[in-house]
């Protein structure tokens, strides 16, 4: 174990009391991946779209924006953003030019901005003006941890995030090893990555993201975050 990480851990313990409420509330998550079973949207003219399986380039949900690639079986790759938004101090995509395009997530969950399909052009996620009156704007529902509503592709029409059987949901954080179950193996696999990764860059370890708090190192706060999500379980 490196000295600086030991210092990190000592420092973390010192501030633990002050941060315990934050950790317990589960509000310190950095980024979420897409669930292994609930990863599909439907394009009326382009068929199924997989939000998850581009490996390390799969879709990620950050605080305030999305990143990564969707694979559409009939029209290829769609970029939701490169993960480094350039507007508002790096907290959102400006969408004023193609160089800083991407999908933003408002505090109320409404999506906005543009995705780019290599074969299909722009996809507009800012559908509140047209669909807000019906509650069908594209959005991320924080309570159900799934996407809902509709986006609009300039060349492909409506993209449906609203189907009740096939939709895109955030991975349950308690399922650390991503096998669809929340059980003791997740605890053990988290502990292994926790021990292996320390101050390493993410992804690290067998399952990639023991730095739940996304603060750049793996310490007691991540352990507490994981204990909380593990206790919360999966739906």
Print the binding letters for residues 194-213 with Ca ion: x by CB under 5 A, - otherwise.
-----------------x-x
What are the backbone dihedrals phi and psi of residue 4, each rounded to the nearest 5 degrees, phi first? Answer: -65, -30
Give the chain's radius of gyration (CA, Å): 19
Q: Is the Cβ of residue 87 or residue 199 nearer to Ca ion in the bound state? A: 199
* Residue of 162, 175, 193, 198 that binds Ca ion (CB under 5 A): 175
| Alpha carbons 100 and 79: distance in angstroms, whole number | 11
CB of 55 to Ca ion, least distance (A): 19
The verdict on 193 binding Ca ion (CB under 5 A) reads no
User: Judged by CB under 5 A, which stretch of 38-46, 146-154, 167-175, 198-206 contacts Ca ion?
Assistant: 167-175
The verdict on 225 binding Ca ion (CB under 5 A) reads no
Q: Is 129 exposed, middle or buried (0-12, 13-18, 19+ CB in 10 A)?
A: exposed
Q: Taking a C-beta distance cutoff of 8 angstroms, is the pair 102, 66 a contact?
A: yes
* Residue of 69, 70, 177, 198 that binds Ca ion (CB under 5 A): 177
CA-nearest of 35, 29, 66 to 52 is: 35
| DSSP summary character for residue 172 | P
Length of the chain: 235
Q: Hey, how many other C-beta atoms are within 10 angstroms of the C-beta on 59?
A: 25
Print the binding letters for residues 103-142 with Ca ion: x by CB under 5 A, - otherwise.
----------------------------------------
- Degrees to nearest 5, angle at CA 92 with 198 and 118: 95
User: Judged by CB under 5 A, which stretch of 20-28, 53-61, 72-80, 179-187 contacts Ca ion?
Assistant: 179-187
CB of 228 to Ca ion, least distance (A): 13
* Residue of 32, 162, 198, 222 that binds Ca ion (CB under 5 A): 222
Rule CB under 5 A: which residues touch Ca ion? 175, 177, 179, 181, 186, 211, 213, 215, 222
């Amino acid at each position: 174990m490196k000295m600086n990480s030991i210092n990190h851990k000592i420092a973390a313990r010192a501030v633990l009391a002050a941060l315990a409420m934050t950790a317990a509330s589960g509000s310190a998550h950095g980024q979420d991946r897409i669930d292994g079973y609930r990863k599909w949207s439907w394009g009326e003219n382009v068929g199924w779209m997989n939000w998850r399986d581009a490996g390390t380039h799969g879709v990620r949900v950050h605080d305030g924006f999305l990143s990564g690639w969707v694979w559409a079986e009939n029209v290829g790759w769609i970029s939701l953003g490169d993960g480094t938004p350039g507007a508002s101090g790096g907290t959102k995509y400006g969408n004023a030019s193609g160089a800083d395009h991407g999908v933003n997530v408002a505090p109320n969950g409404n999506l906005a901005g543009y995705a780019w399909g290599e074969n299909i052009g722009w996809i507009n996620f800012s559908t509140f003006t047209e669909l807000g009156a019906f509650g069908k704007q594209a959005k991320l529902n924080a309570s159900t941890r799934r996407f809902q509503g509709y986006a609009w592709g300039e060349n492909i029409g409506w993209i449906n995030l609203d189907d009740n059987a096939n939709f895109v949901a955030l991975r349950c954080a308690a399922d650390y090893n991503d096998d669809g179950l929340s059980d003791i193996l997740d605890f053990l696999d988290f502990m292994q990555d926790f021990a292996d990764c320390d101050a390493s860059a993410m992804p690290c370890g067998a399952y990639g993201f023991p730095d739940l708090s996304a603060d750049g190192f793996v310490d007691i706060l991540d352990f507490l975050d994981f204990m909380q999500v593990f206790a919360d379980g999966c739906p």
